[in-house]
Amino acid sequence: MTRKLTALVVGISNYPNGGALKNPAHDAEDISKALLDLGFSVISQIDCTVEDIDRALESFKDNLNSNEVGLFYFAGHGMQIKGENYLNAIDTNFIDEISAKHSSFPLNQVIEVMDSCANSTNLIILDACRNNPFVRAWNRGPEQRGLASIYTPKGTLIAFATSPGEVAGDGAGRNGSYTEALLRHINTPDIPVEDLFKRVRNTLSMLTSEKQTSWEHTSLSGDFYFNISIGRSITIYGADAIADAQFVLKPATPVKDAISGLKSSNWYTQNPALLKLTTADLTSADIDSLFVLGRNVYQAACGGANASISFIHDFHNKIAEVPPEKYKPILDGMLFEVFFNSKGELRKGFKVSRFNDLFELKKIQEFAPSFDFISELLLSHQNRFYVIPGKHRSVSVDVVTETVETGEHLVTGVFFEGINVLRRTGSNTGYDLGAYPIRYDSLIQTISNEMVIPVAQLTVNSNVAPKATKILYPYGSTLEK
């Protein structure tokens, strides 16, 4: 599964009667290409009419309702009339304000359409504050130059080429200065969009000798990244280790014998099979065998095999004399098993019963490469996660309860970044199945496991005291994304 991203890109250069701009058409073409490379579906309109924009917006609206992130980009002339912002097309009549108003496209219409759709994140980028000769001809005061301030709905970021009331000139090269700066940074991996636009601002200042200052207004409640680094192709391990249902256990070696025992699903076979392994056995094994060993250690631990549980808890000591190039595949394999099945496919339901035990190892610096390995693999599946496991990020959730007649605290909401993520599962939707008692520490564990966020990175805010014993959790509910 990948991110669902869609964009509408408009660039207008061919304005009539001396109003032509050389950059916007190129800006739109280059932004469209950059967005396509980043995984967006793109509707592009170059040198178009107001009707063309309106029709494109209708198509964009359909896309927004089936995607997670929407982006609108406009390069060309824009203006404010009586505090409202308008985007000018090739058929805008600039003879006076009234004509221009009724033959331009209202920016608020774009904002309202995007806000009304089902997607969670909207980005609006406006390189539309150019020095408009038609506006100058109307003898307006400086306070009416550029675009006016805009209301920004929740979940939206609006980025402007200049600060409110300022204007920008056309660029000296193929692109306008603002879009040139944006293109320099849009592919930077793993940088939140707010930080990216700070970099754009600094580059723009340099390009224009501090004459132009870009500006953003944001009400985003979560993080957005244009470029999340692509999960690496797993070339370090063989295909039969990734899809380990096909892994061949012949010819026999001590590690392959241990794998065979761990696959038995019998504790009396699993435990001695693992306990027999020596440092020399691990050191002499090939990395594919060690990777598959790690996978089977984790699955046996999830099944309750004590030797495997102990192996995870005491991993640091167990591999004390094993070189890094040999213990890393074992930890890589254990982490991989949490998220991927025996066909090498992302699991529909993650294997989380020993998830927190395993992620305790993240605190040990020498194991960082394994957590980098799994986080990079999972980045291309980020829509399955609230935060990417393996990334260093603390997370805060808010638990909301109501006191019922018995005096118990019924959990009614678990809020992540302002959104209640507690929901009924599948066929349970619309039914009240009651609730069951749960200890506070078990509640934390449930939140951690279902949201796939290690307890060590999780802060839970609640009006329920940690020692409270009268907590109820609704049957048939989940926090899974």
Task: Show the tokens assigned to 435.
Answer: 């609730």
pLDDT tens digits for range 308-361: 999 999 999 999 999 999 999 999 999 999 999 998 888 999 999 999 999 999
How far is C-alpha 457 from the geometric centre of its chain's CA atoms? 18
128 and 108 both lie in a single domain: yes
Which one of 144-158, 167-181, 242-256, 279-293 scores highest in mean pLDDT? 279-293
State which amino acid sits at residue 370.
S
328 and 411 both lie in a single domain: no
Q: Which residue segment(s) compose the domain that 102 sits in?
A: 5-218
Q: Tell me, yes or no, whether 230 lies in a domain.
A: no
Q: Tell me, yes or no, whether 224 lies in a domain.
A: no
Residue 144 pLDDT > 60, yes or no? no
Q: Tell me, yes or no, whether 389 lies in a domain.
A: no
53 and 76 both lie in a single domain: yes
pLDDT tens digits for range 46-91: 999 999 999 999 999 999 999 999 999 999 998 888 888 999 999 9
108 and 180 both lie in a single domain: yes
Of the pLDDT bands very low, low, confident and very high (cuts 50, 70, 90), residue 1 is: very low
More confident of the two residues 235 and 479? 479
Of the pLDDT bands very low, low, confident and very high (cuts 50, 70, 90), residue 230 is: very low
Of the pLDDT bands very low, low, confident and very high (cuts 50, 70, 90), residue 141 is: very low
User: What pLDDT is stored for residue 229 in this prediction?
Assistant: 54
Q: Tell me, yes or no, whether 63 lies in a domain.
A: yes
More confident of the two residues 232 and 423? 423
Average pLDDT, the chain: 90
14 and 59 both lie in a single domain: yes
Q: Tell me, yes or no, whether 189 lies in a domain.
A: yes
13 and 94 both lie in a single domain: yes
265 and 414 both lie in a single domain: no
79 and 214 both lie in a single domain: yes
Residue 104 and residue 96: Cα distance in Å, rounded?
Answer: 12
Q: Tell me, yes or no, whether 234 lies in a domain.
A: no
CA-to-CA dists, residue 198 to 128, 193, 354, 355, angstroms: 19, 9, 40, 37
Residue 163: strand, helix, or coil? coil
Strand partners, 28: none
* φ/ψ of residue 117, rounded to 5: -90, 175
Q: Tell me, yes or no, whether 226 lies in a domain.
A: no
CA-to-CA dists, residue 318 to 110, 200, 277, 282, 301, angstroms: 59, 48, 10, 11, 16
Cβ contact 292:333 at 8 Å: yes
User: What pLDDT is stored for residue 345 in this prediction?
Assistant: 85
Number of domains in the chain: 3
Q: Tell me, yes or no, whether 390 lies in a domain.
A: no
User: What pLDDT is stored for residue 169 in this prediction?
Assistant: 65
Average pLDDT value for residue range 274-293: 97
Report the predicted TM-score, pTM, of the whole model to 2 decimal places.
Answer: 0.58
Q: How are the residues of the chain apportioned to helix, strand and coil, as percentages rounded to the nearest 5?
A: 40, 20, 40
119 and 255 both lie in a single domain: no
Residues in the chain, overall count? 481
* Helices 254-262 and 287-302, packing angle to 10 deg: 30
Least confident of 371-375, 392-396, 399-403: 392-396
User: What pLDDT is stored for residue 79 in this prediction?
Assistant: 87
422 and 371 both lie in a single domain: no
Among the candidates 362, 384, 406, a domain finishes at 384
pLDDT tens digits for range 456-471: 999 999 988 777 778 9
Q: Is the peptide bond prior to 251 cis by the omega test (within 30 degrees of 0)?
A: yes
Residue 219 pLDDT > 70, yes or no? yes
pLDDT tens digits for range 416-438: 989 999 998 876 666 677 899 99
Residue 160 and residue 128: Cα distance in Å, rounded?
Answer: 8
79 and 154 both lie in a single domain: yes
Residue 338 and residue 163: Cα distance in Å, rounded?
Answer: 48
pLDDT tens digits for range 110-127: 999 999 999 999 999 999
256 and 379 both lie in a single domain: yes
Of the pLDDT bands very low, low, confident and very high (cuts 50, 70, 90), residue 376 is: confident
Among the candidates 323, 356, 384, a domain finishes at 384
Of 386, 385, 397, 475, which is closest to residue 429 (Cα–Cα)? 475
User: What pLDDT is stored for residue 142 in this prediction?
Assistant: 41
Among the candidates 189, 218, 247, a domain finishes at 218
